Structure 1
Amino acid sequence: MGTNQVEMCPVARLIFVVYLLVTTCSASPPNFVLLFADDLGFGDLGCYGHPTSITPNLDRLAADGLRFTDFYCTSPVCSPSRASLLTGRYQTRSGVYPGVFYPGSRGGLPLNETTIAEVLKPLGYATAAMGKWHLGLGQNGMYLPTRQGFDHFLGVPYSHDMGPCQNLTCFPPDIKCFGHCDQDVVTIPLMYDDIIKQQPVDFLDLERAYSDFATDFITMSAKKKQPFFLYYPSHHTHYPQFAGPGAAGWSRRGPFGDSLLEFDSTVGNLLSTLENTGVLNNTLILFTADNGPELMRMSRGGNAGLLKCGKGTTYEGGMREPAIAYWPGIITPGVTHELASTLDILPTFAKLAGAKLPMVQLDGVDMTDILVNQGPSKREAMMFYPTDPSVRYGMFALRLGKYKAHFYTRGAGHSETTPDHDCHIISILTPHDPPLLFDLESDPSENYPLSLQGRPDLQALLQKIQAVREKFEATMEFGESQIDKGIDPNLEPCCTPQCTPKPSCCQCD
């Protein structure tokens, strides 16, 4: 594997080294903006080949930045994927499994886990999160972002389909949300820090609120000459899609396309704010997504491109994601085929900021060399865990170099409706001995397992893969499952907590 980019000349490389020395030792280390899309497939963006998606601002980041072709999340569903992103550790270590958190979940991302925000805070960073948290709420908001290193939070504490949505407006002038979402729980709240500001949330105005929040945060940080970290895990493009008047009806792709366009517009507003405040050239913007598309929603569920299956599965479509890194003057525009992951974001931000790494077992590696020096990845392998990982089965698949071995395969309800029956929920857990082996460079769709017959080289490769697997699993300590702690309806957020009858009475403007 290699990086297809223009070579950085020796002078430019020297300038960058001096730049790092200056920024990590001065009062102005780099700023970080982390954009995290929801249920977005490898084939959903214009810059990744979709013919009708309108994503001009993400396309700009891709054209002027570094676009990844082999970038992975750690889980094919959102809560565990988000835990790994923020901690640099597989979700199995933190206990964010099986599945996802719900409005009344007792558990959350353990407070003894160290997030990116907590890594940067000791260096004087201002930190803010906006959008979809989905790492727990808990008793008295104990798991909210403000308890995990973020100064401020504006957003929904879980997924915006986790509340009745059939009477809510998702598109103007008064187009109701498609489907019914979850029932018999409170309507979706919008929170500022740990206070409910609105319940149910106004979908038509939500993105404007986020954009204004980000503008104020960046502007204030720049005015104070304070480095900042902005984390934006977007609700777009998770079901049910929504968009305000600035995006609704403007794409040729229907509700999904309109929702994606609105998210892209916020990216454009962020870029404008960074430019207007004079900090764009000192800001690393990194974009990726939490898991693959929810194919059961058909045209409303996203697109995995040429990759196999989607959300809920450990096939490529479930966990390989679009990813873009943008930093004017530092990152040379191009495309990289190096192996990288959301796990690598924490150690990379720490390296660039000059921050100390947490004293725990990290699964991420620093990818600074990929971003700025066209160097090779430090990542040897990528592990694929299912939505319900266990000590009994361990990882379902492992990628080493360009090869991927499946020890177990299974379909998922999230990936129903596709012609490929391997993706469907009726495709039950199937062990493979020897493992199914694919060359992802010649067969990224995982259609053609390699035959080991007469191939001593592939047999040797499988032995190496098994050795890597055994070495890694010897280091894996499964944390106590946070999701198995169960649900308490009394923990569901309600802006009028003493009202009756619950949950329908929980409403405020």
Structure 2
Amino acid sequence: MANLLSSTFVFCLFYICSASPPNFVLFFADDLGFGDLGCYGHPSSLTPHLDRLAAGGLRFTDFYCTSPVCSPSRASLLTGRYQTRSGVFPGVFYPGSIGGLPLNETTIAEVLKPLGYATATVGKWHLGYGANGKFLPTKQGFDQYLGIPYSHDQGPCHNLTCFPPDIKCFGLCDIGVVTVPLVHNDNIKQQPVNFLDLERAYIDFATDFIITSAKNKQPFFLYYPSHHTHYPQYAGTGAAGRSLRGPFGDALFEFDSTIGNLMATLEKVGVINNTLIFFTADNGPELMRMSRGGNSGPLKCGKGTTYEGGMREPAIAYWQGVIEPGVTHELASTLDIFPTIANLAGAKLPPVILDGFDMTNLLLRKGKSQREAMMFYPTDPNEKSGLFALRWGKYKAHFYTRGATHSATTPDPDCPGIAVLKAHNPPLIFDLEADPSERYPLPLEERPDIQAVLAQIEKVKAQFEATMVFGESQISKGVNPNLEPCCSPECSPKPSCCHC
């Protein structure tokens, strides 16, 4: 009988008919490729818990982030708006960045707070630190925070331990700045961070947050942007040496184990049936690291590029007893998570232009996605050039192409940084269903059907760009070394004295 229930009725049974609003757990991996997970076809990845989520939930094949690098992608996820609107461009924030995600932007946490939600984030923030921590999560709607406020390679790591018993981190990372700190709420708890114990600290923090929220019968939103599997990879004693993929695989396995631990906690406290769990990633793999950098599967290039490998991501939505297991080929994006959570919680949307679409019908009723198009901006967008590419339905048009240092070392000459900017007029058009690797541009001559596709893409592009007002660039505000987080702010000489 249960198998015959429609997903709509099941949704009513577990949510609409329940007095308890839903909880939300959002996992966000770092530099993870479309081909990196076992459930997406990697033969040697050890990801049993993510595979379980995929088997019991909805796995996306056509899901996109909004930028091929970290900070802009994270801004779009939390605001439901392209990074060009919030000004989180070009590139990423650094320890001493003056700017950050503008405080007048509304995050998912901020729309949930008026409804009584407990909110917490744990892991990689990377949306600015600023003077006196003015851009930290606790200023953006989150009650609690534990994590590194930017990328964990944005500090010297050559003498730090990344794997037990004392295997040093691979590479030098950024030098001439403070070592990466572990921040609890607004205060530096540890500097430099201990990578071997970091994931344990994150699990304990997230577990306590879930247990406390459930005990208080308070709905909650947990945002878990992991550092895994970004360079330099690290893992503690429970994961080191466990995978067949070396350091990258061990780091991925550690994050997968974290997901398993938190799933067990949700089950233990009895809220698993009332919790939407969503997993995806910020951008594609850093191919320049070779086997340490991830895998984009059949997709072209990776991090830093607007090819599919740079911005198409694995994504899984899981809600036990509510979301029917399966695979969807519908078009969706990180932009769509904000309005979806808002709708499910009954939250009021902010009075701004949103670029996301509510996925409730897609998730709960296997309906169609409201998203018809996906826009592709480069790492350094500007109003003159506009979009680099646009996907409409199954077709993708490249108006500009360019490689990236992040995608070096591959045999494809279009991927590395030496592949300079090229304008395409008419644009290169690909059928992504027949050719997800973007190898075979479709001819326009004697193809009125493709000419009609191009006309529609041009129309969609013009309509979208007419609504796009670029915000003031936050990253172009520059860097002030005095803003780098230091646990002993009066010490000397900096940055080496920042140690506690």
TM bucket normalised to smaller: over 0.9
What is the aligned partner in structure 1 of residue 409 from structure 2?
417
Match of 1:74 in 2: 66
* Number of the residue aligned with 1:437: 429
Kept in 2: contact 1:8–1:332 (CA 8 A)? no
Pairs within 5 Å for 1:394-405:
394-405=386-397
Equivalent in the alignment of 2:477: 485
Q: Where does residue 22 of structure 1 map in the other structure?
A: 17
Corresponding residue SS for 1:421: coil
Contact 2:7 2:323 in 1 (8 A): no
Shift of the alpha carbon at 1:11? Answer: 5.0
Verify the 8 A CA contact 1:94 1:478 in the aligned structure 2.
yes
Alpha-carbon distance in 2 for matches of 1:340, 1:223: 34
In structure 1, the partner of 2:259 is: 267
What does residue 91 of structure 1 align with? 83
Deviation at 1:21, TM superposition (A): 3.3
CA distance in 2, matches of 1:192, 1:108: 19
Q: Which runs of 5+ in 1 are unaligned?
A: 1-6
Contact 2:15/2:274 (CA < 8 Å) preserved in 1?
A: no
> Does the alignment pair 1:13 with 2:8?
yes
Which residue of structure 2 lines up, in the alignment, with residue 216 of structure 1?
208
Distance (Å, rounded) in 2 between the aligned partners of 1:14 and 1:329: 10
Q: Please say if 1:241 is aligned against 2:233.
A: yes
User: What code does the residue aligned with 2:459 have?
Assistant: A
| Aligned-residue CA RMSD (Å) | 1.1
1:456 aligned to which of 425, 443, 448: 448
> Counterparts of 1:270-281 in structure 2 under 5 Å?
270-281=262-273
Counterpart-to-counterpart distance in 2, 1:8 and 1:452: 48
Could you say which residue in structure 2 is the equivalent of 1:335? 327
Distance in structure 2 (CA, Å) of the matches to 1:8 and 1:446 = 40
> Structure 1 residues 8 and 308, CA, compared in 2 at 3 Å: closer, same or farther?
farther
TM-score (norm 2): 0.99
2:362 match: secondary structure: helix
Equivalent in the alignment of 2:464: 472
The letter for the 2-side match of 1:318 is G
Contact 1:406/1:435, CA 8 A, preserved across alignment:
yes
Residues of 1 paired with 2:183 and 2:9: CA distance?
A: 46
Which of residues 193, 199, 208 in structure 2 aligns to 1:201? 193
- In structure 1, C-alpha distance between the alignment counterparts of 2:8 and 2:483, rounded to whole Å: 53
2: CA distance between counterparts of 1:15 and 1:180?
A: 52
8 A Cα contact 1:440 1:446, kept in partner: yes
What is the rounded CA distance, in whole Å, between the counterparts of 1:423 and 1:432 in structure 2? 17
Q: CA deviation at 1:9?
A: 5.0
1:178 aligns with 2:173: no
Structure 1 counterpart of 2:24: 32
Deviates more, 1:400-409 or 1:8-17: 8-17
Identity, in percent, stands at 76
Aligned equivalents of 2:425, 2:306: Cα separation in 1: 17
C-alpha contact (below 8 Å) 2:388/2:398 kept by paired residues: yes
| Aligned-residue offset at 1:453 | 1.3
User: Structure 1 residues 78 and 8 mapped into 2: Cα distance closer, same or farther (>3 Å)?
Assistant: farther
SS in 2 for 1:287: strand
2:243 aligned to which of 251, 257, 262: 251
Q: 134, 137, 141: which is aligned to 1:145?
A: 137
The whole-number CA distance in structure 2 between the counterparts of 1:426 and 1:11 is: 53
Q: 1:3 maps to what in 2?
A: none
Contact 2:14–2:322 (CA<8 Å) still a contact in 1?
no
**Does structure 2 retain, via aligned residues, the 8 Å contact 1:190–1:197?**
yes
Amino acid of the structure 1 residue aligned with 2:202:
Y
Among 40, 44, 56, which residue is 1:52 paired with? 44
Normalised by the size of structure 1, how large is the TM-score? 0.97
Unaligned runs of 5+ in 2: none
Report 1:265-344 matches (<5 A): 265-344=257-336
Letter in 2 for 1:453: E
C-alpha distance in structure 1 between counterparts of 2:215 and 2:348, whole Å = 26
Q: 1:106 to 1:335 in 2, by over 3 A?
A: same
- Contact 2:188–2:487 (CA under 8 A) maintained in structure 1: yes
Q: What is the identity, as a one-letter code, of the residue corresponding to 2:313?
A: E
Please state if 1:376 is matched with 2:368. Answer: yes
* Paired residue secondary structure (1:422): coil
Query: After superposition, what is the alpha-carbon deviation per residue over 1:346-381, rounded to whole angstroms, capped at 9, x for unaligned?
Result: 000001011111110000000011111010000010
Tell me, in whole angstroms, the C-alpha distance in 2 between the residues paired with 1:226 and 1:59. Answer: 29
